[in-house]
Amino acid sequence: MAKSSLVTKPRDILGNSALRPDGAHKVQGSFEFTSDLHAENMLWGATLRSPHPYAKIVSIDTSAALALSGVQCVITADDVPGKPTYGLISSDQPVFAQDFVRYMGEPVAAVAADHPETCRRALALITVVYEVLTPLTDPEDAIAGSFAPIHPDGNVIRHQRIIRGEQSISGPIVVEGEYVIGMQDQAFLGLEAALAIPDPDGLGLHLHVATQWLHEDLTQISACLNLPADKIRLTLGGVGGAFGAREDISLQVHCCLLALKAGRPIKMQYSREESFFGHVHRHPATIFMRHHADSNGKIVKIDARFVFDGGAYTSTSPAVLINGITHTQGPYKCDNATVDGYAVRTNNPPCGAMRGFGVVQACFAHESQMDKIAAAVGKSPVEIRLINAMVTGDPLITGQIMESVAPVARCITETDAIPLPELMGQTVNELSLPGGSGLTASRSNIVRGIGWGVSMKNLMYSEGFDDYATARCTLKDGIASLKFATSEVGQGFVTLAPQIARSVLGVDEVILEPIDTQIGSAGSTSASRQTWMSGGAVDGACRLVRERLFHHVGLMHSIDPIRLVIDGTDVIDQLGTFRVSVADASEGIEISETFEHHHRATEELDENGQGNCHTAFAFVAHRAVVDVDPELGLVKVVQIATAQDVGRVLNPLSAIGQVEGGIAQGLGLAVMEEIVMKDGKVRNPSFTDYLLPTALDAPDVVAVMIEEHEPQAPLGAKGIGEPPCISVTPAIVAAIRNAIGKNIERIPVRPQDICL
Amino acid sequence: MSVIVAKELTTALTALREHGDARLIQGGTDLMVEINFNHVKPTTMISLRDIKSLRMIRTDTPGIMSIGSGVPYSVIEGEPVLTAIPALAQAARTVGSPQIRAAGSLGGNLGTCSPAGDTLPVMFALDASIHLSAIDSSRVVSIHDFMTGVKRSVRQHDEIITAIDFPIINGWQGYSKVGVRNAMVISVASACLVADHENADVRIALGSVGPTIIRCRAAESWLKTTLDLSTRSTISLDVANEFGRRAAEESSPIDDHRSTAQYRRHAISVLASRLLRKAYQ
């Protein structure tokens, strides 16, 4: 009793708002990001990049750079000892460009030197002679075959169709549109960084890196270095956000090559400008959709054509394409569909994973279409979505049966029940109007609009990939240690994992061991999958440990272990009075178990796009209230109401953080975030001109968490990372349309799209 | 690189005369970006940050508020500037983030002399005067003569901008800036309008729509010939819109990655019209 009276706050078990272990450090600036790492005798590495979107490399002369005092080594494609290329799905991206550069910013060479400034000077001394070629920048040219292949693998990365149901069916209502989605950047705050430390014997190395998936990095690095995987150790450095941009290799191989060649530790870190060229972006896309509906607005058939611009290299384009086209219908019933999808290669920047992964693009199109159907049949946005809402058991256009909990209608009605914000009074804070601190508008210049967006998002990996996560739990003297390779990129797994251990094992103290490759893979921190996958692995390992603890206690006290359960921080006999604290019960013993959590198998799609390709799904509804200045085309998002299907809330604070953050990111895509391209060149690689929402742009968020435990999920909880950013974008655009009475089919919506 | 941290203006002026390569730094919000991008590589820097005389706001001359070139925007946003020169306070509020506003200053805005400089249209609309000092001379230059082109001014290498004199007007003044987000954004188009009731005069200056800040003298004189501004009646929407149209005609914006010339011209017409109507509400 005396001991428990010392506990002054609720234990940080599942369901409580446990605080991030790294939270205070991050707020105070004392958290060690990868860019803060340092090693004795360290050199700096830097990358020379192509200024051209497409050019033949005639020659590279590094002699002047090598001659510069302070330069240790210069490497090019000729210095890659192993595989010359890498890639997540197709190994088609060169470590360094050899014959051709295929996008602006492609790495051509790297240097190691005693100071970043020496690196910069050395890069300027490398002479590359280019024969500049006309870049392929229009994805339609790639599809039409009107442009000579810019890569040996051709200009079409993947083509997939979906043919479902009756192909010739139509209805009295037919609406269509061509939707254009601009290129969004993940814009994480912690720039790419790594520190590679060669082993004393020169035969291996240790790489500290900010990444989303240590083991996948290891596989690709090992092939390029021609070193066995057991000679390379990866440790996760402090990561400042990822959003998909750290799935692909960026500086990993360069840093390792320099370290092995120099025989000294190498630190590399990108500037913000270099970061825009150093990682993949969200695919720009053009999506044509035609919906056929009956006179009530019920969807009869959907025709669609998707074109995703994959840029110069494959990255995850094939998977993004499949995600896009398989989400054509959104969270609505649809029995008939004809969908054609392309992911193509161009000389634009490579595109790959970003929060929402292909579904963001599809959702903007299908939600815009839903509003057109509603208008055509004279129904409200809410009515049209309720009429069509999918339920568990419905077949998808891939033929897969929706087996996940699917509270689509509930997401919509609970969002609808959230009170609207108050109308603007006569006196308003001018800063809160569209135009904000620019003081461009008075209240009388403003009109208000309301718009809706609802989405479905697949969780985890698809198309037959054996997706799993590994964790080990060790219990000793009442303290649990957890070991996993799960990348903590800011999502909060380092908060959640101890919550799981406390709940399952009844411990208070949980130690997190270093996150590295000294244990099996955890898979990627992406696809809203780590709570489900690594959470499942930690839960599984803790349960195995608990079973052995009960066995041990049973033996010691002659109780059948099946009668034992955890009650708070004690082990108790459910059928008797026996009670012992977990700390006492585990004194002097060590129990360690490793668990691999696999999700159920999925299938590849056949040539007609049929197959059980996805693992599970989550749903969300967004209602946006937006103030618009129609004359100037400026926008202020006033309120986002949302009800999200989360399965179960494991940490309320973390959950609302994901919801608010995702909404800000979706708002960015709706009204400001775009990498502006011209002739294959990036025009705005800086935070001066690539605009992210500020506090004055962020709306009030009113969120409802819909908790219907997901039976498939180890903890009953669905992934919650991606859904918040998906349907909020079309909701905001719908609200703008509603305010000004004008159709807009392109995002981000620019001021001139509204007022000119 | 050597950095000279001056405590007195004379120290800075002497050093500036001695070092032909020296760059002046006040808040560093422009210069440090240039340095970080390797666009400039100063070999000598003279810091003005510790010179107290550059951080003073003086009102000893009647009808004039003289603001030291080093007074940060975070101070200009508030009193006494807010009441005396509200358009300047409004312009200061639109600059960057709180951190940038705590460092940046009017001296820096003038030193960089970008057409997107947020406070420059206010200086143009108010006919501000710029005080320049060298070690052995000083002069006062009208803002209209000071700025000569994109990032070009009449400031000589050995001169330091010490203060900006703003006439205090009896009337209304306002500043508006269009950007693609609601704060912390480079101006796509901006305008400052001053309605000098005492002199029955309206003046408007535009930012980010030409190589320099543009005073719309033709639109101003059209307005004065069209209306008797001394009666201070409200201004009809038609007149305001025509004024806006004429102001936009005097702008010469370009297409770039931030916006289009067409939108910028349109935005100017809207801003000018709205500011004029507000001035006579």
Q: Which of residues 126-185 of B touch A (CB under 8 A)?
A: 174-185
pLDDT tens per residue across span A670-712: 999 999 999 999 999 999 999 999 999 999 999 999 999 999 9
User: B24 near B160, Cβ under 8 Å?
Assistant: yes
CB contact under 8 A, B177 and A439: yes
The minimal CB distance from B263 to the residues A434, A697, A751 is found for A751
Q: What was the pLDDT predicted at A6?
A: 42
Q: What was the pLDDT predicted at B232?
A: 80
pLDDT tens per residue across span B72-103: 999 999 999 999 999 999 999 999 999 999 99
CB contact under 8 A, B181 and A631: no
Q: Which of residues 25-44 of B touch A (CB under 8 A)?
A: 36-38
Round to whole Å and give the CA distance between A130 and A118.
24
CATH, domain range B174-279: 3.30.390.50
Q: How confident is the model at residue A423 (pLDDT cuts 50, 70, 90)?
A: confident
Alpha helices in B195-260 (DSSP H): 217-226, 237-250
Q: Which amino acid is at A228?
A: P
Q: Give the H or E element holding residue A728.
A: helix A728-740
Does pLDDT of A8 surpass 50? no
Question: Greatest CA span in chain A, whole angstroms?
Answer: 84
The minimal CB distance from A632 to the residues B175, B260, B267 is found for B267
- Residues A311-334 have a mean pLDDT of 98
Residue B145 has a CB neighbour count (10 Å cut-off) of 11
- Residues A514-538 have a mean pLDDT of 98
The minimal CB distance from B180 to the residues A439, A691, A755 is found for A691
Does pLDDT of A4 surpass 80? no
Does pLDDT of A10 surpass 90? no
Q: What was the pLDDT predicted at A154?
A: 98
The minimal CB distance from B181 to the residues A271, A440, A693 is found for A693
Question: What is the nearest CA distance from A679 to chain B, expressed in angstroms?
Answer: 13
From residue B257, how far is each of A57, A674, B7 by CA, in Å?
29, 10, 42
Does pLDDT of A506 surpass 50? yes
Does pLDDT of B224 surpass 80? yes
- Residues B165-183 have a mean pLDDT of 96
Q: Write the DSSP string, B251-280.
A: ------SS--HHHHHHHHHHHHHHHHHHHT
Alpha helices in A314-473 (DSSP H): 317-326, 359-377, 381-388, 408-416
SS (H, E, C) A141-164: HHHHCCCCCCCCCCCEEEEEEEEE
CB contact under 8 A, A438 and B190: yes
The minimal CB distance from A688 to the residues B186, B190, B266 is found for B186
pLDDT tens per residue across span A113-147: 999 999 999 999 999 999 999 999 999 999 999 99
Domain boundaries, chain B: 2-167, 174-279
CB contact under 8 A, B259 and A683: no
Q: Which amino acid is at A461?
A: Y
Residue A74 dihedral angles phi and psi, to the nearest 5°: -130, 135
Q: Which of residues 191-250 of B touch A (CB under 8 A)?
A: none
pLDDT tens per residue across span B23-69: 999 999 999 999 988 899 999 999 999 999 999 999 999 999 999 99
Fold match between B2-167 and B174-279?
A: no
Q: How confident is the model at residue A9 (pLDDT cuts 50, 70, 90)?
A: low
- Residues B107-117 have a mean pLDDT of 97
Nearest CA in chain B to A636: B182
Q: How confident is the model at residue A46 (pLDDT cuts 50, 70, 90)?
A: very high
CB contact under 8 A, A755 and B38: no
pLDDT tens per residue across span A279-296: 999 999 999 999 999 999
Nearest CA in chain A to B91: A438
CB contact under 8 A, A695 and B183: yes
Round to whole Å and give the CA distance between A17 and A22.
14
Alpha helices in A98-251 (DSSP H): 116-125, 139-144, 214-225
CB contact under 8 A, A440 and B94: no
Task: Pick left, alpha or beta for residue A478 (phi over 0 → left; psi -120 to 50 → alpha; otherwise beta).
Answer: left
Does pLDDT of B163 surpass 90? yes
Q: What was the pLDDT predicted at A674?
A: 98
Q: Looking at domain B2-167, which of 3.40.50.620, 3.30.200.20, 3.30.565.10, 3.30.465.10 is its CATH number?
A: 3.30.465.10
User: A104 near A97, Cβ under 8 Å?
Assistant: no
Q: What was the pLDDT predicted at A7?
A: 40
Sort strands B44-47 and B22-25 into parallel, antiparallel or unpaired: parallel
Round to whole Å and give the CA distance between B27 and B42.
16
- Residues A192-205 have a mean pLDDT of 97
Residue A280 has a CB neighbour count (10 Å cut-off) of 28
User: A88 near A317, Cβ under 8 Å?
Assistant: no
ipTM of the complex: 0.96
- Residues A163-178 have a mean pLDDT of 98
Does pLDDT of A38 surpass 70? yes
The minimal CB distance from B262 to the residues A689, A694, A756 is found for A756
Nearest CA in chain B to A696: B182
Percent of chain A with pLDDT over 90: 97
Q: What was the pLDDT predicted at A5?
A: 40
CB contact under 8 A, B182 and A438: yes
Does pLDDT of A419 surpass 60? yes
**Which of B40, B181, B262, B268 is the mutation pick for testing A, counting most A CBs within 10 A?**
B181
Round to whole Å and give the CA distance between A739 and B199.
42
CB contact under 8 A, B182 and A683: no
Least confident of A3-12, A334-343, A536-545, A676-685: A3-12
User: A694 near B184, Cβ under 8 Å?
Assistant: yes
Does pLDDT of A3 surpass 80? no
The minimal CB distance from A697 to the residues B182, B187, B267 is found for B182
Give the predicted TM-score (pTM) of the model.
0.97
Query: Using a CB-CB distance cutoff of 8 angstroms, which residues of chain A are in contact with residue B36?
Result: 271
* Domains with residue ranges and CATH for chain A: 2-31+468-598 (3.30.365.10), 34-133+199-239+246-271 (3.90.1170.50), 285-462+604-755 (3.30.365.10)
The mean of the pLDDT values for chain A is: 96
pLDDT tens per residue across span A372-413: 999 999 999 999 999 999 999 999 999 999 999 999 999 999
